[in-house]
Amino acid sequence: MSAVVVLRNGQMLQTYSDQGLTVGDVLDDLRESGFVGHLEDEHGKLLRRYVLVGGSTYNFVEKQGATWFDVHLRVPSPSAFAADPQAMMRYLGGDDPIYDLGRTSAAIPLPLTVEAFALYVQGLKFRVLDALDWSFVSKVMGMSRFFENETQRQSAFLEWTQDYLRATCAGVQLRFTESVKGKGMPDIKIEALVLGEWITICMIEVKVEIGGGEPCVELVKYYADYTTQLWQRNDWLYQNSCCPVLLIEVVGPHVRVGGAVRYVDKPAYQPFTPLLHVFKFVQDADHLSMLSRALGSIGDAVKSLVAFYAGVTRSLPPVRAAEVEWPYAITRLQQQGAVIVQTTLSRSFLRAMNKQLLFGVELKGNRRIVKFCQRYGTAIHQQWAAEGFAPSFTCHALAGGWLMIDMELCSQDDGWVSLMALDPNSWSVGDNAANEYRLQPEEWEVCKQKVVEAYRTLWLKFPGFEVFKLKNKCRMG
């Protein structure tokens, strides 16, 4: 049977009867006829190596303008980019920058996606340092002195970091590489041997003093180059993970620790600490505590990243999994057999809500809604749920200060509809589905009165609480 390639409008473009043809073979053939783009099936975009199946129909999607990779490859070199305000304004200054840095756009919070980052953030508050940690902290504080050039500061930080991580990450084989002029790599790259393969887990950029360009931008450009190389060679690492890497900036006598991931659309960066000085103000107990935990938690992050990569599947799917940017707690539910449905929101709403942090979960016939936040009215929700005015729920504290709210789903399949679906004044002409549950005017008046009574009951039961949310659903029947 032949494989059929059609345009988005359903028009047949070409048929292929040869056995073993790959997507790449078809795209090369279509390119000769002036068609440039990619193939998709019902699951999404197909990679060039994917073998076509006879009897199947594939959609050809013509290339529309420049892809993310096309734009990225036009960005100047990392060092030139970080020192050029006009280039940064061009590529990073809009509402949809080429990299999400948190300056003009908001990415999904990294500690939600990568547990290693969440544990690092948690360590900033709770880690108890041992003698090995304090030795490393004291050496880094020695970098408050002046260095003649960047190479000297870089070599000093590399020596201390190398000794510290090899001691604190016993059992993990690490490789430290300093930059070589003309090679286009960060000042220091740290790799770990994971199941026989060297994987980048940390990048470090060093400046002799403040004023040598924006090290954050430089590091993220190096990271974007790295993940682009993974994409170009169709690496399992890119296809099955968000490629998390710890990023450390050493700028004169200052240190900042953050992380980077490659989400579905672009790389994203998040600083986990402010720019911390290493001046010798040891009497500043609060700052010393923050600095020491920031440095002492680096080893924990390295070990956690190694564990993360050891758990990534090495098979190659036809398309990159959308799950790479899911919160790690959702991924675990999926691994337990849950069916996950990610809520799709409008682009403008994504920025306001830190992108898509709302998920439908079905496990063993039980359907739930799972959402993530940093503050929640747990006590009042519990009281309202006990009285039947709010869905049942559980609140799970995650590392790094996030909460996972696992809540009962009041779905239409179970007889629940929204109050708005009952309002006869919202009748939609010709839309039978929207009008299915409309009440008669007299019934609607009775319904509204019951809602008022419910609010009154809430006020009487919970005086002093503002009524912030009512279970905006009614069970039919």
% helix / strand / coil in the chain, to the nearest 5?
40, 20, 40
Q: What are the structural domain ranges in the chain?
A: 3-65, 69-310, 322-475
Buried b (16+ CB within 10 A) or exposed e, 410-433: beeeeebbeeebbeeeeeeeeeee
Instruction: For residues 127-134, give the mean pLDDT.
Output: 94
Predicted TM-score (pTM) of this structure: 0.79
pLDDT digits (tens, 9 = 90+) for 221-272: 999 999 999 998 889 999 999 999 999 999 999 999 999 999 988 999 999 9
Tokens of 440: 């008669």
474 — pLDDT class (breaks 50, 70, 90): low
413 — pLDDT class (breaks 50, 70, 90): confident
Instruction: For residues 326-343, give the mean pLDDT.
Output: 87
174: CB partners within 8 A, 6+ apart = 162, 165, 166, 190, 191, 192, 193, 302
pLDDT on residue 276 = 96
pLDDT on residue 342 = 74
Give the residue from 133, 142, 150 showing the smallest Cα distance to 79: 150
- Tell me how long the chain is: 477
Instruction: For residues 194-209, give the mean pLDDT.
Output: 96
124 — pLDDT class (breaks 50, 70, 90): very high
pLDDT on residue 471 = 47
Buried b (16+ CB within 10 A) or exposed e, 382-400: ebbbeeebbbebeeeebbb
Q: What is the SS3 string spanning 13-60? A: EEEECCCCCEHHHHHHHHHHCCCCEEEEECCEECCCCCECCCCCEEEE
28 — pLDDT class (breaks 50, 70, 90): confident
pLDDT on residue 354 = 45
144 — pLDDT class (breaks 50, 70, 90): very high
Least confident of 161-165, 321-325, 333-337, 341-345: 341-345
291 — pLDDT class (breaks 50, 70, 90): very high
pLDDT on residue 319 = 78
pLDDT at 65 over 70: no
Is residue 199 a contact partner of residue 237, using CB atoms and an 8 Å limit? yes
User: Bridge partners of 190?
Assistant: 176, 202
Instruction: For residues 307-321, give the mean pLDDT.
Output: 89
pLDDT on residue 288 = 92
Q: Which of 149-158, 276-285, 339-348, 377-386 has the highest mean pLDDT?
A: 149-158
In the CATH scheme, what is the code of domain 3-65?
3.10.20.90
Backbone angles phi and psi of 192, in degrees to 5: -125, 145
Between 432 and 158, residue with greater pLDDT: 158
Tokens of 172: 């993990």
Least confident of 86-95, 367-376, 410-419: 410-419
DSSP secondary structure string for all residues of 323-374:
GGGS-HHHHHHHHTT-EEEEPP--HHHHHHTTS--EEEEEETTEEEEEEEES
pLDDT on residue 182 = 63
Question: Of all helices (H) and strands (E), which one includes residue 310?
Answer: helix 298-310
Tokens of 206: 């060093």
pLDDT on residue 29 = 84
346 — pLDDT class (breaks 50, 70, 90): very low
Mean pLDDT taken over the chain: 87
420 — pLDDT class (breaks 50, 70, 90): confident
Is residue 242 a contact partner of residue 259, using CB atoms and an 8 Å limit? no
352 — pLDDT class (breaks 50, 70, 90): very low
475 — pLDDT class (breaks 50, 70, 90): low
pLDDT at 470 over 60: no
Taking the C-alpha atoms of residue 46 and residue 58, their distance in angstroms, rounded to an integer, is 9
pLDDT on residue 10 = 74
Least confident of 106-110, 202-206, 353-357: 353-357
pLDDT on residue 195 = 94
